[in-house]
């Protein structure tokens, strides 16, 4: 059976999505329509190890620009402050931060503001650019991961046949995360420098595989 949403229901859903976002999206939309915009670009790199050596770009780093959300910032700060409480909270922190950001992105999409979710990938020279953004307060979030191998022993056949074993660690990604709050001003170019010296958080994302267990 198909269910058709009425115009009223669609508008109600959109209004609910807007209410879930603690940002005045109308201000960004108004700035965009009036052409009140500024540009945002930057670099992601490791600073030179010696005075006469070049900086080391971090190509492939992901950079995202979003309208500043106080609730998202508070959530990310909370996760960072709790990350050292235990080994478990530290292992989970980077993943939970990504999930918090993705939830906010989804809220923006559902509120009809998908154009305010800007993404860029750092090029071989360590540079990225978003072009013109509506004037206002923005969050710049970036991440760069390094794959690390782990050689954990496999369970023996007897244990695999008798027990339901937990997933086995086979590697992890060391993630450097950046968070900066930026004011984009009309007609001005804003430049962001993200380096190994101003990393906001360093976490891990584990890669695990499930050894075959009992079929029962």
8 A C-beta contact, residue 111 and residue 171? no
In this prediction, residue 149 carries a pLDDT of: 62
Q: What is the pLDDT of residue 164?
A: 57
90 lies in which domain range? 7-209
Mean pLDDT (the chain, rounded): 84
pLDDT, tens digit, for every residue of 140-186?
999 999 875 656 555 545 544 455 555 655 566 789 999 999 999 99
Q: How far apart are CA 58 and CA 44, in angstroms?
A: 6
The answer to whether residue 199 sits within a structural domain is yes
Q: Is residue 2 part of a domain?
A: no
- Tokens coding 187: 């007609």
| 183 assigned to some structural domain | yes
Kindly tell me if the per-residue pLDDT of 128 is higher than 60.
Answer: yes
Instruction: Return the closest-CA partner of residue 94 out of 211, 199, 209.
Output: 199
**152 with 166: CB under 8 angstroms?**
no
Number of domains in the chain: 1
Domain contains 215: no
Question: CA 197, 173, 54: angle at the middle one, nearest 5?
Answer: 35
Can you give the pLDDT at residue 8? 39
Q: Is residue 37 part of a domain?
A: yes
**Residue 3 or residue 195, greater confidence:** 195
Q: Tell whether 214 is covered by a domain.
A: no
What does pTM read for this prediction?
0.78
On whether residue 216 sits in a domain, the answer given is no
Binning the chain into helix, strand and coil, the percentages to the nearest 5 are: 30, 35, 30
**Cβ contact 10:98 at 8 Å:** no
Residues 133 and 36 sit within 8 Å (Cβ to Cβ): no
In angstroms, rounded to a whole number, what is the distance separating the alpha carbons of residues 62 and 29?
25
Q: Which of 103, 112, 107, 106 is nearest to 11 (CA)?
A: 112
For the ranges 66-70, 195-199, 211-215, the lowest mean pLDDT is seen at 211-215
Q: How confident is the model at residue 38 (pLDDT cuts 50, 70, 90)?
A: very high
Q: Is residue 39 predicted with pLDDT exceeding 70?
A: yes
> What digits encode the pLDDT tens for the residues 68-121?
999 999 999 999 999 999 988 998 999 999 999 999 999 999 999 999 999 999
How many C-alpha atoms does 130 have within 13 Å on its Cβ side? Answer: 28
The three-class DSSP label of residue 24 is coil
pLDDT at 171: 60
CATH number of the domain residue 32 falls in: 2.60.40.10
């Amino acid at each position: 059976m198909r269910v058709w949403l009425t115009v009223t229901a669609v508008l109600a859903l959109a209004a609910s999505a807007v209410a879930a976002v603690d940002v005045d999206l109308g201000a960004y939309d108004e700035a965009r329509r009036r052409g009140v915009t500024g540009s945002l670009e930057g670099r992601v790199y490791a600073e030179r190890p010696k005075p006469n050596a070049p900086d080391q770009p971090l190509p492939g780093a992901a950079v995202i620009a979003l309208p500043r959300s106080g609730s998202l910032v508070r959530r990310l700060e909370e996760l960072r402050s709790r990350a050292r409480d235990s080994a478990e909270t530290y292992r989970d922190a980077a993943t939970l931060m990504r999930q918090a950001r993705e939830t906010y992105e989804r809220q923006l999409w559902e509120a009809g503001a998908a154009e305010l979710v800007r993404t860029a990938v750092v090029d071989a020279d360590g540079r990225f650019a978003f072009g013109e953004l509506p004037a206002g307060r923005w969050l710049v979030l970036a991440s760069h991961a390094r794959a690390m191998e782990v050689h954990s022993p496999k369970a023996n056949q007897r244990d695999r046949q008798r027990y339901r074993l937990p997933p086995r660690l086979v590697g992890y990604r060391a993630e450097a995360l950046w968070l900066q709050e930026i004011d984009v001003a009309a007609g001005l170019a804003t430049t962001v420098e993200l380096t190994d010296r101003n990393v906001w958080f360093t976490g891990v994302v584990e890669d695990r595989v499930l050894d075959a267990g009992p079929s029962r």
